[in-house]
A and B are shown apart, each in its own frame.
Chain A
Amino acid sequence: MTVTAQSDEELIERYGRGDAAAFETLYRRHEMRIWRYLQRYVNNRATADELMQEVWFAVARDAQRYEPSARFTTWLYTIAHNRMIDSVRKSRRQTSLEAIGYEAEPVVHQLTADPCAGPFAAAVARDQAGGLARALEKLPAEQREAFLLQTEGDLGVEEIAAITDSSFETTKSRLRYARTKLRELLKEYA
């Protein structure tokens, strides 16, 4: 069986036994989803980079403690949620890195929009992405997180409730409000 055909749970267990390739597969599999969850919640690239590193360092460190009874995704997003909450609390006390002039490494910053599609299509795609970022920012933090956990983490209401330490009904309500508001805010892109 190839590494890529394995489930998340098998991969993390393999990594816990010392298989670095399994971790890399797991990382690449979840990299963009967890990044979007973090970046769209904190809406700050440098902070999202920091959080991304912290989350995956924690995954690597605690891999041997992972229990297969829980889905890997639930475990992963629980770690991400906790790190994010810590970061938000910290940022209330500290000046943000960007505010003090921190610049992330000049990164290879490739556009995901297909360059062959032409400049107009690329501009439309960027406009939509910007609209999404603005729409998400207008949501209350709890609704935004619940929605991102559902869409990016592919998690169910019960799992989101457990991760955010909220009741099932509260979580369901947050999701409903988030979707209603986003539908309204994104209708111009429909």
Chain B
Amino acid sequence: MNEVPPGRDEPDDVDELYRRASAGDDSRPSEWVRHAVLTHAAHLAAERARQTGHAGRAPRREVNQPWRRPAIFGTLAAAALAGLLVAPHFLPPPTPNVAMKSQAPATSAPTPDVRQYAAPPAARREAAAPPAAPSPAVPPQEAEQRSSGMLAEQRPPPAATADERKLAKAGASARNETTSPEAAASLAAKNAPAKLAGTVSAQREAAAPMADAAVRADPGARLRQAAETGDAPALQRVLDEQSDIDGRDDSGRTALLLAAQHGQDHAVEVLLAHGADPNAADSNGDTPLKAAIHGHRQAIAAALQRAGAR
């Protein structure tokens, strides 16, 4: 298949001149290109090999397959709906309802709300159980729309999935005040997707004030958020407060790494100018330069290299 194809003229003197002149041409692709290409190709090959070798075991990475996304997010949406229905039953009854109940005549029929509050905890859980069935709760088409909306907004997909699990629990945990500041900050750092179902939105809204408070209280979280979103004024404000410029989040990512990952050229320049470590890797060993190359961020890669990134 590699033979000279039909239609090709016989090599002539121009070919000879061309080849001779080419021999003196010392230009060749940069080393980083080869490194980036081969690393990327090896990564894809490993994924494909895993998919081929472990097709029956449904490995974690297969979450990226498009056909799985609707199923996963449909399940998550159903769990979120169930969470919303169950959570109110564990809350103390609102005072007006209790007062109404105590004042109501014994003969009057109680409203459904009052009946639920009056029932013992076990009965409440049983009453809430049926809506937890995943398939009838969310139609597949609707689940797919929701999932595609999320995927367009959140990268990388595995992190988005973990966040959704956190969000499904957020309603109850925020009310119980057991959410850690880091988890709350992580939740706030992600954009609240309006495309999600109302149930998840409601839970997210419940968690948002606390997450915002956590981010406001942690200069490192504010720095990383500003770097990730490219919010230059906020970035400058936090830097003026002399916070730890190389502070890390739960995954070991610095503000510089987040800025590089999200293509925030200006934030990268500002952070480097303030002495951010260009070689600070996260817990997976990813450096800002690696992230920039992987994301085709040429200008950022160049800036990092000028700052001594390896």
Contact = CB atoms under 8 A, between A and B. Distances in A.
Interface of A: 7-9, 15-20, 23-24, 27, 31-32, 35-36, 39, 45-46, 48-50, 52-54, 56-57, 60-61, 63-64, 71-73, 97, 102-113, 122, 124-129, 131-133, 150-151, 154-159, 175, 179, 182-183, 186, 189-190
Interface string B77-121: 000000000000000000000000000000000000000000000
A127 B25 CA distance: 9
Contacts of B51: 18
B27 A39 contact: yes
Nearest to A171: B7
Interface in B20-54: 20-34, 36-38, 40-42, 44-52
A7 to B, nearest CB: 6
Contacts, number: 177
B136 interface: no
B30 A189 contact: no
Contacts of B25: 36, 112, 129, 132-133
Given A18-B48, A35-B27, A154-B4, 16 more contacts: A20-B46, A23-B42, A23-B45, A24-B41, A32-B28, A49-B30, A50-B298, A53-B37, A106-B305, A112-B24, A129-B22, A131-B21, A155-B8, A156-B8, A186-B18, A190-B13
10 contacts: A7-B1, A16-B48, A27-B38, A45-B27, A49-B30, A71-B2, A109-B28, A151-B18, A157-B7, A186-B21
Residue from the set A19, A54, A125, A158 with the largest chain B CB neighbour count within 10 Å: A125
- By secondary structure, the B interface counts as helix
B97 to A, nearest CB: 58
A151 B22 CA distance: 11
